[in-house]
């Protein structure tokens, strides 16, 4: 099977040539297209205000950028699968006033930072991508609310994008060259971790995966970096204890929880088989039983072909799954959106692996074979969208 390619490779081409511009456009266009389709759906079907729809669309762009190494079509379809999942769709709708001054200020600030990244880092695509993330962060910090779910999913999407980029660059397949990590990539991880944890302490659950990713990437981080990581871990732990732990509910029997819902952690709930079934049911309700099976297959294939990505995503997934087993709040599904985003990544890689197998089994592969896997995968977000509009 053909392994993933390093997504940032086209960024090494100069912008002063037509080939360079085409390479950069080809690299970014699928994610932007996924964001545009989702944005239209949020506005038209979800009746979402412009600002909120734009922020949600940027999350889809970030996830699609993380999926870009699997091909343009699968990156678009995977992003839309998250957009049309019930948990993500609950963030659409509502009322919000358009704050044009905030929008312009965020654009100017992000544009300046993007220009600096492109000029000094000479990585146009990654500079533009991080600039887009910075714009979204600045924008949502001003118009968002404390513990904003949109901010959590936004920072998760772009954190996954950076992590996968770093792991592909530092752990290539034997026939691929190894690329040196850029300082701004490492700092970008820290920035996203800090913003995400300050917004929602639960975001600190991603810290073990980030630290493991840095170790697998053999990143040389200065002492101050690890001190900052420790501070973020402390802030996140304190926030989790403050918001999700209550002495009243910590040691109770899970069966004693009224109506099965209480907005706190019940420590012994992970031993209850019903909690495990509820976690599996959450995934099935979002992506159907096929999505659950594809996730298992995708993780297995990642462990075979790209062990660093498989281990890092499994670590992040396990942290959120552990929280989901012991947390009894009614908002559990939306708090576990980072887990669902990793589920989409695994699902997409499973379809990618299946498509590669089809092509290798039918050499020379006709066009219908090359497009078979993406075409089948398209049915998933289509079914999910039809379910949203009340068809089927």
Q: By 3-state DSSP, what share of the chain in percent is helix, strand and coil, each rounded to 5?
A: 80, 0, 20
pLDDT digit string (tens) for 108-147?
A: 655 665 565 555 455 555 555 555 556 555 555 555 556 6
Which tokens belong to 71?
A: 């091909």
Structure tokens at 129: 């991508």
Short-list 38, 118, 20, 124, CA closest to 75: 38
Which residue's structure tokens are 């997934």?
Answer: 317
Largest CA distance in the chain: 67
- Quick one: average pLDDT of 155-173? 88
Q: Which pLDDT belongs to residue 96? A: 54
Is 134 contained in some domain? no
- Would residue 45 count as lying in a domain? yes
Residue 127 structure tokens: 């500079």
**How many CA atoms, within 13 angstroms, populate the side-chain half-sphere of residue 334?**
16
Domain-located, residue 132? no
Nearest to 92 by CA among 128, 55, 61, 121: 55
201: nearest Cα among 162, 253, 130, 148:
148
Say which residue, 186 or 116, is predicted with more confidence: 186
Q: Is residue 172 part of a domain?
A: yes
Residue 57 confidence (pLDDT) = 93
Torsion, CA 146, CA 151, CA 152, CA 155, rounded to 10: -140
Q: What is the mean pLDDT of the chain?
A: 83
Domain for residue 7, yes or no? no
Q: Which residues contact 37 (CB under 8 A, 6 or more apart)?
A: 76, 80
Rg (CA), the chain: 21
The structure tokens 């509502």 sit at 94
Per DSSP, 336 falls in state T
Tell me the residue range of the domain where 275 lies.
26-96+145-389
Whether 33 is covered by a domain: the verdict is: yes
Share of the chain above pLDDT 90, in %: 48
Q: What digits encode the pLDDT tens for the residues 322-367? A: 999 999 988 889 999 999 999 999 999 999 999 888 877 777 666 7
Number of independent structural domains in the chain: 1
Q: Predicted confidence band at 103 (pLDDT cuts at 50, 70, 90)?
A: low
CA distance 124 to 274: 49
Q: Average of pLDDT values for 380-388?
A: 92
Alpha carbon distance 381, 102 (integer Å): 33
Give the bridge partners for 327, in sequence order. Answer: 265
Q: Is the pLDDT of residue 237 over 70?
A: yes
Q: What does the pLDDT read at residue 16?
A: 46
Cα 307 from Cα 233, distance rounded (Å): 26
Decide if 138 is inside a domain: no
DSSP string, 173-231: -TTS---PPPHHHHHHHHHHHHHHHHH-GGGGGGHHHHHHHHHHTT----HHHHHHHHH
From residue 9, give the alpha-carbon distance in Å to each of 145, 169, 315: 37, 9, 27
How far, in Å, CA of 79 to CA of 57, rounded?
10
In a domain, 35, yes or no: yes
CB contact set of 219 (below 8 Å; sequence gap of 6+):
166, 170, 181, 186
Average pLDDT of 359-386? Answer: 82
pLDDT, average across residues 22-30: 72
**318 vs 328: CA distance, rounded Å:** 17
* CA atoms within 13 Å, Cβ hemisphere of 202: 27
Q: Say which range, 124-133, 151-160, 244-253, has the weakest mean pLDDT.
A: 124-133
State the pTM of this model. 0.86
142-147: long-range contacts, CB 8 A cutoff, minimum separation 24: 142/99, 142/102, 142/105, 142/106, 143/51, 143/96, 143/99, 143/102, 144/55, 144/199, 146/199, 147/199, 147/200, 147/243
């Amino acid at each position: 099977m053909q392994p993933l390619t390093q997504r940032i490779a086209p960024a090494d081409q100069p912008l002063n040539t037509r080939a360079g511009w085409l390479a950069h456009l080809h690299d970014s266009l699928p994610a932007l297209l996924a964001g545009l389709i989702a944005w239209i759906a949020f506005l038209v079907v979800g009746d979402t205000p412009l600002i909120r729809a734009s922020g949600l669309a940027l999350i889809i762009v970030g996830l699609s950028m993380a999926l870009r190494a699997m091909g343009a079509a699968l990156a678009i379809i995977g992003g839309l699968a998250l957009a049309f999942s019930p948990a993500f769709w609950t963030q659409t709708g509502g009322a919000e006033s358009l704050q044009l001054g905030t929008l312009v200020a965020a654009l100017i600030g992000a544009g300046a930072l993007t220009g600096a990244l492109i000029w000094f880092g000479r990585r146009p695509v990654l500079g533009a991508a991080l600039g887009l993330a910075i714009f979204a962060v600045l924008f949502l910090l001003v118009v968002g609310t404390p513990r904003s779910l949109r901010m959590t999913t936004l920072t998760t999407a772009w954190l996954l994008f950076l992590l996968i980029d770093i792991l592909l660059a530092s752990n290539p397949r034997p026939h691929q060259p190894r690329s040196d990590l850029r300082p701004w990539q490492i700092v970008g991880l820290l920035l996203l971790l800090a913003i995400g944890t300050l917004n929602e302490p639960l975001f600190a659950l991603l810290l073990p995966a980030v630290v493991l990713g840095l170790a697998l990437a053999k990143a040389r981080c200065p002492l101050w970096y690890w001190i900052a990581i420790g501070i973020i871990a402390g802030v996140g732990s304190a926030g989790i204890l403050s918001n999700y732990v209550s002495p009243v509910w910590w040691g109770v029997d899970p069966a004693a929880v009224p109506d099965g819902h209480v907005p706190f952690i019940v420590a012994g709930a992970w031993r209850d088989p019903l909690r495990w079934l509820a976690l599996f049911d959450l995934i099935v309700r979002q992506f159907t039983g096929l999505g659950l099976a594809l996730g298992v297959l995708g993780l297995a294939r990642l462990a075979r072909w790209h062990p660093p990505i498989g281990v890092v995503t499994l670590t992040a997934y396990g942290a959120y799954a552990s929280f989901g087993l012991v947390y009894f709040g009614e908002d559990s599904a939306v708090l576990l959106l980072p887990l669902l985003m990793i589920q989409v990544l695994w699902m997409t890689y499973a379809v990618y692996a299946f498509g590669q197998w089809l092509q290798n089994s039918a050499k020379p592969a006709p066009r219908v074979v090359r497009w078979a896997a993406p075409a089948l995968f398209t049915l998933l977000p289509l079914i999910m969208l039809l379910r949203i509009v009340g068809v089927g």
